[in-house]
Amino acid sequence: MAEAHQAVGFQFTVRPDGVDLRLSQEVIKNIYLSGVTAWKKRAIQFKNGVLAGVYPASPSSWLIVVIAMMSSLYIRIDPSLGMIDAIKDNLPRRDCMSVQTRAVLSAILFATGLWLFLIYLLRYTLKALLSYHGWIFESHGKMSTSTKVWLSLVKMFSGRRPLLYSFQASLPRLPVPSLDDTIQRYLDSVRPLLDSDQYDQMEILANDFKDSKAAQLQRYLMLKSWWATNYVSDWWEEYIYLRGRSPIMVNSNFYIMDLLYVTPTHRQAARAGNVVHAMLKYRRKLERGEHAPLRALGTVPMCSSQMERMFNTTRIPGIETDIVQHLTDRKHLVVYHKGRFFQVWLYTGGRHLLPSELETQFQRILNDTSEPQPGELKLAALTAGNRVPWARARIKYFGQGVNRVSLDAIESAAFFLTLDDEPQGYDPAKTDSLDSYAKSLLHGNCYDRWFDKSFTLISYPNGKMGINAEHSWADAPIVGHMWEYVLATDCFQLGYTEEGHCKGDVNKGLPHPTRLQWQIQKECQGVIETSYRSAKQIADDVDFHAYLFSDFGKGLIKKCRTSPDAFIQLALQLAQFRDQGVFCLTYESSMTRMFRDGRTETVRSCTSEAVAFVRAMEDTSATNTQRLGLFRKAADTHQNMYRLAMTGSGIDRHLFCLYIVSKYLGVDSPFLKKVLSEPWKLSTSQTPQQQLNLVDITKFPKYVGAGGGFGPVADDGYGVSYIIVGENLITFHISCKFSSADTDSCRFSQNIQKAMLDIQGLFKAENDKKMVELGTHVQLENGKKHI
């Protein structure tokens, strides 16, 4: 226990002749080193803050401008056009200064002002350049001359060696689309889903909205877009996530899996030690802003604001709305094992614990045979159940005493770690191994993950790991970025001994992990049990199937000259129709991080072109040539919609914000109510891989992840997460509910597999036809030569 360890270092005894003080030299040394580390950290954060604050300029450029202005004093050339003299004449207390001092000070002040002006000029020039998105609409592999010039200008104004937050002030704001465009795109998106009468009715509602209330709501939205950095993100976080009163387990949280084929060590404590240490290294770079910003095409920067709340963050329940609590510089984590909560300090002597030291701490917890305290075993089920009972219980039972101290320890921890006692992971010999692994990560036993933490790290006895992440603070690519860094650091930098232990000396002198203490009343135990039963009902209803599609991957799809994402989305439409016999509103998530504070936008994948293609695939009279032509048209439409969503011209976030404004103003809109109440029966998302390119998967093909997934969005629909892994593998994570008689995750996965192969068969048939035609042409040419 760290507090006790430090208390032993300072003792005093009252004696007749005075007070006898005894100081521990070791503890004083640790306190000194901690102070040095803290000041060093502040200095680095200040330095990097200055570097990011003046970017794309640099502090040294200020000195260059000052020297240039000072030189002008001696060569009697005034580049300031008299401004230096004006400053000199208006300096306070100028009578107390010599003429030379006033001249130097005036030149420095003018140079500083000029330098700041140039910084803002560079920044706004870069912002104007980044507002151009024509490049994203160009055909893949083809780049126009104007785009090449634009890219060169962006590189020139982007400066050198940017830090994580260097581009934040230069990112453009998310534009508010025009009402006419949004409403027309919406009507186009629902046209294939409605019959003529339904569509006519929707068109009347849309036109009535456009002609009456829309302009007023749009003006308020424009005002917000000018005032706030992003007109969507704060409302999206609050109304979509934080105001939801239903359980966040399964319904909101998502998961990410470990490496698919490789387990670096089968020792649970050792793997957890390396992974936690790698996370601490990532957090240190994050706090200092030293990670490189993500950039499309290696040039166009992405917003990094979501990364700020990755660690030291907890969702705090409220009666009407939750809040996201983000703290700084947390030095401990909380570990859950077999119903007990332990606090583990992450620092000693002003440094992170080494992997071997963390392994020792985690092994001590695994070896601990103490029993859970009354009510402790299922305590975390409060975070898995409905939000209002949890909020009330938190106020009533955890507002004071040891319960408050222990809850504060959890909510202020860097993150939460669960040491599970059932092995999980991919086993080729077991067809349902990924299903069990996914359900364990998504909900576990409903009481062994703290679902309110920004993320819970889960460690299994066979050495496998995984993450369950809370969704309100960030989206999956943000957590995926951290996880890629951690896995690469774990496997290729830290490593293990031949026996599977963490490398480094074992420090047995560390204070033992501290058991958190609880005094949970019978009444509170009843609330916990109610939350547990509610959560277990949700978890037991999750029908999950994850599988590996290895027949072909991105490599073959790109040879077909089509977008891999469009290919998969059209396969999902074909699979959905074969599974349900009808088309449905389809959600695909795209990112808007090219804008400041951008998060996501919806791509409505079920288009008229996609429907025409699916019908052709099911029409036995249609030829392969016709089907392929319709596929290409549908793929082009999908790509264009995805690009519009990425560049701020999507449909759903605009309509969502108009609806929020209408609620604030008390304006009733049947059109917006109808739009916001439509169910997404097919919800899809692609999790990006290789964001950091720390591992060459062509050289190390086994070091790939299986991606992650989420729970079903609709009671009678599917949730599908897919991950394009390298050139030859695609993983699918499919969820639905057992309570729905219309859905079955295994059946849907078979339909996806067949749809993927059927579409690939179109290209194969076209290729075979071309080969036959080429062979016939060669034979004819040879026959002519013979004659």
HSE value, Cβ hemisphere, 13 Å, CA-based, for 766: 18
Phi-psi map region of 407: left, alpha, beta (phi>0 left; psi -120 to 50 alpha): alpha
Nearest to 364 by CA among 471, 446, 289, 268: 268
Could you give phi then psi for residue 734, rounded to 5 degrees? Answer: -115, 130
Question: Is there a contact between 510 and 361 (Cβ–Cβ < 8 Å)?
Answer: yes
Strands, DSSP E only, in 277-393? 295-296, 300-301, 313-316, 323-326, 332-337, 340-345, 347-348, 351-352
Burial class (CB in 10 A: 0-12, 13-18, 19+), 141: exposed
Q: Which two tokens stand for residue 460?
A: 């299994």
- How distant, in Å, are the alpha carbons of 102, 427, 646, 704, 752 from that of 697? 63, 21, 28, 7, 26
Q: Which two tokens stand for residue 445?
A: 């036993």
Q: How many residues does the chain have?
A: 787
Q: What is the C-alpha to C-alpha distance for residues 383 and 317, in angstroms, rounded to an integer?
A: 9
Helix (H, G, I), strand (E, B) or coil at 734: strand
- For CA atoms 664, 666, 670, 674, the dihedral sign is positive
Question: Is there a contact between 252 and 443 (Cβ–Cβ < 8 Å)?
Answer: no
- How distant, in Å, are the alpha carbons of 1, 14, 17, 25, 511 from that of 22? 20, 12, 15, 9, 20
Which residues partner with 119 through β-bridges? none
Strands 465-469 and 514-515 turn out to be unpaired
Which residues partner with 351 through β-bridges? 348
Q: What is the C-alpha to C-alpha distance for residues 378 and 372, in angstroms, rounded to an integer?
A: 10
Question: Is there a contact between 407 and 325 (Cβ–Cβ < 8 Å)?
Answer: no
Residue 748's H or E segment, with its range, is helix 745-786
Q: Which two tokens stand for residue 489?
A: 């650091």
Angle of the 652-665 helix axis to the 179-190 helix axis, nearest 10? 120
Neighbouring CB atoms inside 10 A of 750's CB total 16
Q: What is the C-alpha to C-alpha distance for residues 443 and 249, in angstroms, rounded to an integer?
A: 6
Burial class (CB in 10 A: 0-12, 13-18, 19+), 303: buried
Which of 277, 471, 638, 733 is the catalytic position? 471
Angle of the 99-130 helix axis to the 59-75 helix axis, nearest 10? 130
Nearest to 185 by CA among 651, 778, 705: 651
Question: What is the Cα gyration radius of the chain?
Answer: 30
Nearest to 258 by CA among 498, 527, 483: 483
CA 126, 131, 134, 137: dihedral to nearest 10 degrees? 120
Neighbouring CB atoms inside 10 A of 688's CB total 15
- Reply yes or no on whether 471 is catalytic: yes
Question: Is there a contact between 638 and 173 (Cβ–Cβ < 8 Å)?
Answer: no
Nearest to 477 by CA among 325, 307, 235, 731: 307
Q: What is the C-alpha to C-alpha distance for residues 227 and 176, in angstroms, rounded to an integer?
A: 13
Active site residues: 471
